[in-house]
Structure 1
Amino acid sequence: MPTGVAIRDVRQQLFAAAERVLLRDGPSGLTSRAVTTEAGCAKGVLHRHFADFDAFLAELVLDRIDQVGRQSAALLASAGTGTVTGNLTGALADQFGSVAVKIVSLLIFRDDLRARLRETIPSGVPVATEVAAMVSAYLAAERDLGRIAAGADIGTLALTLIGTAHLLAVDRESAQPDTEAVAAMVAAVLAGVLKDRDTAV
């Protein structure tokens, strides 16, 4: 991109470029040069907006967490509508798309990034922890509405759904999760607590 040409929404463009590099080349290929090359801008553009590359990556993770927050609100609003299985299948398939799985891999790969995020997120695995909270809140809402058994262990159900969805995600070669496999998993995990014939996705 020529010098002096303004880049609109530069942070989001850089985040999108980082996600494309992460998907294509994995955590080891995610460098500041790779990101700016992918975004089509000079390397200095990234450093004008972020203190260093780890600061950029931390903001990338926090941006992904914000996306989880927005989806959490939408999932919670869906309580009492459709089917519990269908609502959770859609949410988990979205959250465990390639980018989210790669971000978890990135956190495992980069010790400095994990340390930096600990300053604002003292416990848990960023992104995965927020997805677990999203699922827990939704299950609790459905329990309050009577669509899930009153005695259901919401915390254990949420962790089981998240852990299994993650395993399904990392064990695939396609860009997106197999929705049918996710639906079958959700139905199996919730089979003992659903109060209605909640089998349709």
Structure 2
Amino acid sequence: MPTGVAMRDARRQLFDAAERILLRDGPNALTSRAVTTEAGCAKGVLHRHFADFDAFLVDLVLDRIARVEAQTAELREAAGTGTVAGNLTDALTSLFGSIAVAIVSLITFRDELRVRLRRIRPPGVPLATEGVAMLASYLAAERELGRVAADADVETLALTLVGSGHLLFAGREGEPPERAAVLKVVTTVVPGTAS
């Protein structure tokens, strides 16, 4: 690997490289050497920015959580526009069509990562927990607008959508489910949202 070559935003490049490896090859293939090779940098670059590989992985997960939190604001702003079912379908597809399923696998695969995340985060599965919060916030906004039943338990609906979405997207070899399949889950879990 070349040395002495400046990298712009090395953390971002390393995170993006790790994401590509996770999506392409799974958690077994994710090593510090694989990440630096994928990022096109010397192995020392990773260790200059992170105490160890598990610290890198913790920051990767936290970075991806921040993306879901940004998506939460966008989804909540969408309340009252489009259809509830369409918005939920798009949100689930965005959440699980990205790195979320691979991150859940990574956390399951790496004991030390799981232990470190438990020390700094609330209970729950990273990204899935944030996904539930995102959907519950959106459903609450739609309930206030009268587009979701007034007595709807938005927390339970969101939990059910995330669990169902995870199962729908998990185990696929790069091919996400058809939009119609995601929409069917949404309209089944949250009745009356198809129109």
Does TM-score exceed 0.5, indicating one fold?
A: yes
Aligned identity (percent) is 66
SS at match of 2:129: helix
| CA RMSD of superposed structures (Å) | 1.2
TM-score, L = length of structure 1: 0.93
Cross-structure match for 1:55: 55
Q: Which residue of 2 aligns with 1:17?
A: 17
Distance 1:25 1:172 in 2: 13
Q: Does 1:91 align with 2:86?
A: no
Instruction: Spell out the pairing of 1:37-186 with structure 2 (5 A cutoff).
Output: 37-186=37-186
- Tell me whether 1:29 sits opposite 2:29 in the alignment: yes
Structure 2, unpaired ranges of 5+: none
CA distance in structure 2 between the partners assigned to 1:42 and 1:176 by the alignment: 34
Gaps of 5+ in 1: none
Tell me the alpha carbon deviations over residues 9-67 of structure 1, each in whole angstroms, 9 at most, x when there is no partner. Answer: 11110000001111122111100000001111000000000000000000000000000
Give 1:106 shift: 0.4
CA shift for structure 1 position 174: 3.2
Quote the Cα distance in structure 2 between the aligned partners of 1:56 and 1:172: 26
Code of the residue aligned with 1:186 in structure 2: it is V
What is the CA-CA distance between 1:176 and the residue it aligns to?
Answer: 3.2
For this pair of structures, how many residues does the alignment match?
A: 195
Task: Return the offset for 1:154.
Answer: 1.1
Contact 1:97 1:175 in 2 (8 A): no
Partner of 1:199: 194
Question: Within 1, Cα distance between the matches of 2:132 and 2:30?
Answer: 26
Q: TM-score, structure 2 length as denominator?
A: 0.96
Within 2, Cα distance between the matches of 1:174 and 1:123?
29
Measure, in 2, the Cα distance between the counterparts of 1:19 and 1:142.
Answer: 33
